[in-house]
Structure 1
Amino acid sequence: MNIKTIELTFELTSPLSHFGDEPAGTMQTLRRQKFRINNKYEDMPVYSGNALRGILRTLVMTDYFERIGIGVKSVSQNLYYTFFNGGSLKSGGVENLALKTSIKQNCPALVLLGSAYRSMMTEGKMKVGILKPVCAELNEYNRHKTDESIYSGMLSGTFYTRKDRLKSSPENAKDVTTDNKEVMQMKYESEVFSAGTKLESEIKIEFADELEYSCACHMLNLLKESGHLGGKSSVGHGSFTLTASEDLDSMSKLYVDYVSEHKDDMLNWIAEMENTLNA
């Protein structure tokens, strides 16, 4: 069976923020999912596969448009959604084999990640796993085994403050209303994975040809080069080093060369896609 797996290990070099949906006052907690541990279901902090998949899509599509010489801001909304958001379903059929063939020939990343083309949907060949902390509690679920508990310091809290900078420096604008009250600062707290924490995941690529597999490796190489996950990257969160079970540099070459050799065909295809999606 043609299913390939690339194992990934992330080692954080700064705290990682990835907030869940549960409200907790002024504390923003990490996203959690349940795992059966010692015959009980426990909530464990994770980084979602959906979030990682979104980052990979953004990286590879931005890179694709740069390589063929199209500015992302110059494309239509429908085309942007198709490539960067997984598309949006609309009435009007475009179900045909020729379109699927043209996608395969001109944009392997769309084959891997899937999208919607008006009323037609294609499922991606690439499955992205959850990032799980390497900790004793999850030894049953992880490749890496350790005696270190998740509560040994892998989780920590950090806090930030926001203040009204305009009121603290009213000369920066001509119509600021001030009073004699002290400028207030708001404190908010965040739960984070600590620097040094390891997280593991895997990517499965199903029934892909050599070019599509090379594209998947290039996608992961872009992630490795970007070196950031999660929120608050503007204040230094989410940096990491990435180790993969595949030689990403060498395996990316086939895809990179293919895009370079077929750039003109891809430019023409993008124009055709614009017409198809906006008809």
Structure 2
Amino acid sequence: MSIAATFDFLRRAAQTATIRTGRGFADFLTSRIVQATTEPSLLAAMERLLKSLGSDISYIGGEKMARFMAAAGGVEAPGLLSWLRAYPNMAAMIALLRNDDDYAAALASIQLPAAQVGDRGSAPPSRPWQIGISAICTSPLAHGADGKAGNATLFRRQQVLSTTGQVLDLPFYAGNAVRGQLRDILADHFIGALGLTVSRVRPPLALWFFHALYAGGVLEEGGGDAIKAVGNELGNNGTLRTEGVHRLRDHLPALSLLGVALGNRVLPGRLYAGDLRPRCREWGNGAIDAAELMEWTFLTRREDHEDHADNHSMIANTECLRTGTVLEGGIDLDTHAGDLERSALGCGLALLQQRGLLGAENRRGLGRVDMAISGAPDPALYLDWLAAEKPRILDYLAGIHATDTSGNDAILGAQRAAKSKPKGKPAKAAVAPEPFQDDSLAGL
């Protein structure tokens, strides 16, 4: 009963949609179902779906509305919402079936998950971190998932087995993103401390070392002779030159802290960055439901040229954590981390806290946070060391060809040329057909 009532309503909403799209309507409907089912309840999901489709609600029908309202308040509503979240493509296909017999057969085959009533439990508790991080969102926070829904970007989630054995799909801010931001911030600071111009357009260092600082490494085939020379310093072909490894860690403590891959040699980092979990009931660190923390923001890009032939306006939607959401997580340090590496982490965390930005779309005003950090190491040791050892660091970088930028322009030019090269086989030039020769009449 609830399944039929919900799909009859969904089917009618699709039939009365007023929004037109250049892509297939089934794909469009699927993307709208994905967006709508991020809402906390079945009723809220259908409300959002009606808006996103531009459905003409005057043609939905009172009977279909009444049956759906009863279903949305019934015990099967959470299971229906879970099914729609899990199978949006199938839901769109069923809703668009034209044959009533096929439609009825499809509905009869739907198996809902067990009714999720009562306490759904929460994620297992996390132990305290050596360095605690807490961030309050002072603007919506975007952190994209690996999939999209049309022009919408979903917030990143992970599945968690709760204390009552149920699977929860919970939002989180990845610890690897925190680690990546620390890497970028410390790289900028390191280059500036050496007296070089911080620029990602024209790197002041050899590209292979630039990528090592900002991206955490470079493959052997991407670094040319310079990266091979570094391989000779650190060890090649399965060998390990411990003196070279110690020299790198001693001269580049921030890089040693975060880890780096150079050629076929991987130097592991010294820190473990944990995910930042929104404070909510399901994560076990708050009272509000996780679904109540989410909202959708949108941007528009309008066409300013009045004489344009085609309309290039654009709308993009992003699922975000609401302003006021509190995230909690932290960082642990490896027991092998040295004093300089620990102090470098303190420097990075201080700069991250001062920057006050997390996530994506910062240029749109998203991701502003007030961050509190407990247990962070003192950055003074690292800052004093950088100032005192600047000449020795530059000599070391010159010795491994990290300051040689002579080949950068050629490498970047080759990369640009490769990107501009058309893909696929070039089209063959049209050849005019030869005049037909009827050999049987030749010589007559």
Aligned partner of 1:261 among 388, 391, 396: 388
Letter in structure 1 aligned against 2:161: R
* Higher RCO (CA-CA < 8 Å; seq separation 6+): 1
Does structure 2 conserve the Cα–Cα contact (< 8 Å) formed by 1:117 and 1:277? Answer: no
Does structure 1 conserve the Cα–Cα contact (< 8 Å) formed by 2:206 and 2:402? Answer: no
Match for residue 118 of structure 2? Answer: none
Aligned residue runs from structure 1 range 1-279, under 5 A: 5-37=130-162, 38-72=164-198, 73-90=203-220, 92=228, 93-94=231-232, 95=235, 96-139=241-284, 145-152=285-292, 154-165=293-304, 167-168=305-306, 178-179=308-309, 183=311, 185-206=313-334, 207-247=336-376, 251-274=378-401
What per-residue deviation string (whole Å, max 9, x for no partner) do you get for residues 141-198 of structure 1? xxxx32122133x111111112233x33x5xxxxxxx34x7x4532221110011101
Instruction: Provide the C-alpha distance between the structure 2 equivalents of 1:125 and 1:191, rounded to a whole number of angstroms.
Output: 33
Q: What is the DSSP-based 3-state SS (H/G/I as helix, E as strand, rest coil) of the residue aligned with 2:401?
A: helix
Hey, which bits of structure 1, 4+ residues long, moved more than 4 A?
275-278
- Amino-acid identity (%): 28
Letter in structure 2 aligned against 1:84: Y
Q: What is the DSSP-based 3-state SS (H/G/I as helix, E as strand, rest coil) of the residue aligned with 1:20?
A: strand
Instruction: Provide the C-alpha distance between the structure 2 equivalents of 1:18 and 1:115, rounded to a whole number of angstroms.
Output: 25
TM-superposed deviation, 1:231: 1.1
Instruction: Provide the C-alpha distance between the structure 2 equivalents of 1:69 and 1:275, rounded to a whole number of angstroms.
Output: 15
TM-superposed deviation, 1:200: 1.1
Instruction: Provide the C-alpha distance between the structure 1 equivalents of 2:329 and 2:338, rounded to a whole number of angstroms.
Output: 22
Q: What is the DSSP-based 3-state SS (H/G/I as helix, E as strand, rest coil) of the residue aligned with 2:343?
A: helix
Instruction: Provide the C-alpha distance between the structure 2 equivalents of 1:77 and 1:228, rounded to a whole number of angstroms.
Output: 27
**Which has the higher mean CA deviation after the structures are superposed, 68-77 or 225-234?**
68-77
Does structure 1 conserve the Cα–Cα contact (< 8 Å) formed by 2:205 and 2:404? Answer: no
Instruction: Provide the C-alpha distance between the structure 2 equivalents of 1:97 and 1:105, rounded to a whole number of angstroms.
Output: 12
Does structure 2 conserve the Cα–Cα contact (< 8 Å) formed by 1:106 and 1:269? Answer: yes
TM-superposed deviation, 1:277: 9.9
Match for residue 142 of structure 1? Answer: none
TM-superposed deviation, 1:26: 2.3
TM-superposed deviation, 1:119: 2.2
- Is the strand fraction higher in 1 or 2? 1
Does structure 1 conserve the Cα–Cα contact (< 8 Å) formed by 2:194 and 2:390? Answer: yes
Q: Please tell me the root mean square deviation across aligned C-alpha atoms, in Å.
A: 2.2
Instruction: Provide the C-alpha distance between the structure 1 equivalents of 2:266 and 2:301, rounded to a whole number of angstroms.
Output: 44
Does structure 2 conserve the Cα–Cα contact (< 8 Å) formed by 1:79 and 1:277? Answer: no
Instruction: Provide the C-alpha distance between the structure 1 equivalents of 2:214 and 2:402, rounded to a whole number of angstroms.
Output: 18
Match for residue 100 of structure 2? Answer: none
Letter in structure 2 aligned against 1:199: L
Instruction: Provide the C-alpha distance between the structure 1 equivalents of 2:245 and 2:265, rounded to a whole number of angstroms.
Output: 10
Instruction: Provide the C-alpha distance between the structure 1 equivalents of 2:273 and 2:188, rounded to a whole number of angstroms.
Output: 19
Does structure 1 conserve the Cα–Cα contact (< 8 Å) formed by 2:276 and 2:327? Answer: yes
TM-superposed deviation, 1:246: 1.8
Closer/same/farther in 2, CA of residues 222 and 17 from structure 1, 3 Å limit: same
TM-score, normalised relative to structure 2? 0.55
- Is the helix fraction higher in 1 or 2? 2
Does structure 2 conserve the Cα–Cα contact (< 8 Å) formed by 1:135 and 1:148? Answer: yes
Instruction: Provide the C-alpha distance between the structure 2 equivalents of 1:63 and 1:10, rounded to a whole number of angstroms.
Output: 23
Instruction: Provide the C-alpha distance between the structure 2 equivalents of 1:164 and 1:51, rounded to a whole number of angstroms.
Output: 34
TM-superposed deviation, 1:219: 0.9
What per-residue deviation string (whole Å, max 9, x for no partner) do you get for residues 177-232 of structure 1? x34x7x45322211100111011111111021222111111111110011111111
Alignment: residue pair count: 257
Does structure 1 conserve the Cα–Cα contact (< 8 Å) formed by 2:133 and 2:330? Answer: yes
Instruction: Provide the C-alpha distance between the structure 1 equivalents of 2:176 and 2:150, rounded to a whole number of angstroms.
Output: 25
Does structure 2 conserve the Cα–Cα contact (< 8 Å) formed by 1:5 and 1:203? Answer: yes
TM-superposed deviation, 1:105: 1.7
Letter in structure 1 aligned against 2:134: T
Which consecutive unaligned segments of at least 5 residues does structure 2 have? 1-128, 222-227, 236-240, 406-444
Instruction: Provide the C-alpha distance between the structure 2 equivalents of 1:29 and 1:89, rounded to a whole number of angstroms.
Output: 32
Does structure 1 conserve the Cα–Cα contact (< 8 Å) formed by 2:211 and 2:218? Answer: yes
Does structure 1 conserve the Cα–Cα contact (< 8 Å) formed by 2:187 and 2:213? Answer: yes
